[in-house]
Amino acid sequence: MADVESFTLDHTAVQAPYVRLIGVEHGPKGDAISNFDVRFVQPNEGEIPTAGLHTIEHLLASLLRDRIDGVIDISPFGCRTGFHLIMWGEPAVADVVPAVRDSLRAIAEDVEWEDVPGTDAFSCGNYRDHSLHSAREWARLIVDRGISLDAFERVGV
């Protein structure tokens, strides 16, 4: 089986919340695509409940694109402790963190249920499984803890 960087990361050594560059890949035309580990919860110490994580996912899809250019995708980890963020080019972690932080702040403070995109059977694969209440609580917690620029030591929080 192919080696995957994520499985070589010592998950006991990181200090969440943080944003970490996993790697940069280059396509045949030379385009760069960056993959980030956007970790919200300390691994093996907790996880965001599915409904809240699902609502955060839908909201980040819009809020993050409003705050930083080049977002290809942001999708939750199966372990529910964070998200993969895929971006065009090679943006700095220091540019990603403020965009993620302000998106979470907006979830905690500004967003109403009517603002959540994709909450019906047409536009979501499991539209009953959403919780804006949970999304708000977790977003507040992550913003209050501070999102580090480094996975292994708390930088910039």
Q: How far apart are alpha carbons 4 and 8 in whole angstroms?
A: 7
Contact segment (CB under 5 A) with Zn ion among 45-53, 84-92, 108-116, 119-127 equals 119-127
- The least distance separating Zn ion from the CB of residue 75, rounded to whole angstroms, comes to 11
- The least distance separating Zn ion from the CB of residue 46, rounded to whole angstroms, comes to 22
Contact segment (CB under 5 A) with Zn ion among 4-12, 82-90, 94-102, 117-125 equals 117-125
* Sheet (strand 32-39) strand order: 18-26, 32-39, 82-88, 71-76
Tell me the residue nearest to Zn ion as measured from the CB. Answer: 124
Helix, strand, coil % in the chain, rounded to nearest 5? 35, 20, 45
The verdict on 157 binding Zn ion (CB under 5 A) reads no
Nearer to Zn ion, 14 or 48 (CB): 48
Residues 24, 32 contacting (CB under 8 angstroms): yes
Q: How far apart are alpha carbons 78 and 25 in whole angstroms?
A: 22
The verdict on 124 binding Zn ion (CB under 5 A) reads yes
Nearer to Zn ion, 86 or 124 (CB): 124
The verdict on 33 binding Zn ion (CB under 5 A) reads no
Contact segment (CB under 5 A) with Zn ion among 21-29, 35-43, 44-52, 116-124 equals 116-124
Strand pairing partners for 23? 35
Q: How far apart are alpha carbons 150 and 133 in whole angstroms?
A: 29
Which amino acid appears at position 80 of this protein?
R
- The least distance separating Zn ion from the CB of residue 57, rounded to whole angstroms, comes to 7
Instruction: Provide the binding-site residues for Zn ion, judged by CB under 5 A.
Output: 124
